Structure 1
Amino acid sequence: MIRLRSLVAAAALVTVAAAHDARAATATNTFNVRITITAACNITTTAPTDVNFGSQPSTATNVDNQGALNVNCTPSAPYTIALDNGQNGTDANSRKMSNGTSLVPYQLYRAATRTAADVWGSTTGTGGNVFAGTGTGANQAIPVYGRVPSTNFAAGSYADVITATITY
């Protein structure tokens, strides 16, 4: 009798379990996961390296040196960098370092070849003279090539300040 009760109880559990499985159902749905990433560029994260021509005799010509701007832009983001005329120039081709009223002409270039086509200025579009690049997501050192065509000026220390502007 005990054995019969155990069999009946076991059968009842199987029936309940089977009934429960027969009634179980599932449903699915989907949802989106989104983010919008905007381009960003930073030209001030790491200080630029100055273009320092050092000490030169007054007889030197075509004194070259270079500095660098450090930029960090979103990967694949296009950007341009413009350089202004400095404190004493009226355009990119007339930059001058000053010592009081004395002025020494110099030029900044986008390429080491330092040709007239390489002059670095602030003109965009066709015939523009800005530097164009693409972000990598890491710091990029962008060389700034400089030249003083002649040092045949009064002895003294000369300086200018250039403002670089990044557009992205």
Structure 2
Amino acid sequence: MSIKPVAGAVALALTFVTAMPAAAAESTTANLGVTAVVADTCILTAGTALAFATINTTQASNETVPGLVTVVCTATRPGITVTLGSGENASGGKRQMESTGGDMLPYDIFTDSGHSSAVAVDGKLYDGAVNAAIPVALPVYGQIPAGNYNAGAYTDTILVTLSY
């Protein structure tokens, strides 16, 4: 038995196997469409209420507190208007809180902490532009005028309106 012819046949077979390209995996591509619609809208929140501290009824008080109204729109708008209503207990153009006993406690709302720019009943809190997706924070400052008031828990609710 001769080893040379078998060795030659094996060498020849190895040459064909190593010379053949490896089987390539096939691939194909496709495009996946992606769409969305962002509604053209604005959102108004009155997130921080005006919550006055306890008032000492034996002496005049001049309480001040901050609150916050926020507007965010999905599109830039050259002009929006935010107004503050009269509240549920206004009388003679003056906002008032009412106690559970029916007593009234007057208060004012301002756009500045120095209380120099009052927001009238049904008056404008803001009149201006908004940029898309950037919240506009509108601080509001409440103030109870100096005076003596009956003891009680007082409340009111003001309608905040956004026009755009």
TM-score (normalised: structure 1): 0.64
Tell me, in whole angstroms, the C-alpha distance in 2 between the residues paired with 1:38 and 1:90.
40
- Counterpart of 2:107 in structure 1 is 106
- Structure 1, unaligned stretches of length 5 or more? 1-36, 124-128
Query: Alpha-carbon deviations, 1:68-111, whole Å to 9, x = none?
Result: 011102324321100000000046x4100001310000011122
- The AA in structure 2 aligned to 1:80 is T
1:164 aligns with 2:163: no
CA RMSD in angstroms comes to: 2.3
Q: Percent of aligned positions with the same letter in both sequences?
A: 28
Which has the larger share of helix?
A: 1
Does the aligned pair in 2 maintain the 1:110–1:120 contact within 8 Å? Answer: no
- Counterpart of 1:20 in structure 2 is none
Tell me, in whole angstroms, the C-alpha distance in 1 between the residues paired with 2:39 and 2:129.
15
1:42 aligns with 2:37: no
Within 5 Å, give how 1:52-131 maps onto structure 2. Answer: 52-58=51-57, 59-73=59-73, 74-90=75-91, 93-99=93-99, 100-115=101-116, 117-123=117-123, 129-131=124-126
Does the aligned pair in 1 maintain the 2:95–2:121 contact within 8 Å? Answer: no
Tell me, in whole angstroms, the C-alpha distance in 1 between the residues paired with 2:120 and 2:41.
23
User: Which of the residues 124, 128, 132 maps onto 1:133?
Assistant: 128
Tell me, in whole angstroms, the C-alpha distance in 1 between the residues paired with 2:125 and 2:70.
16
TM-score (normalised: structure 2): 0.65
Does the aligned pair in 2 maintain the 1:69–1:141 contact within 8 Å? Answer: yes
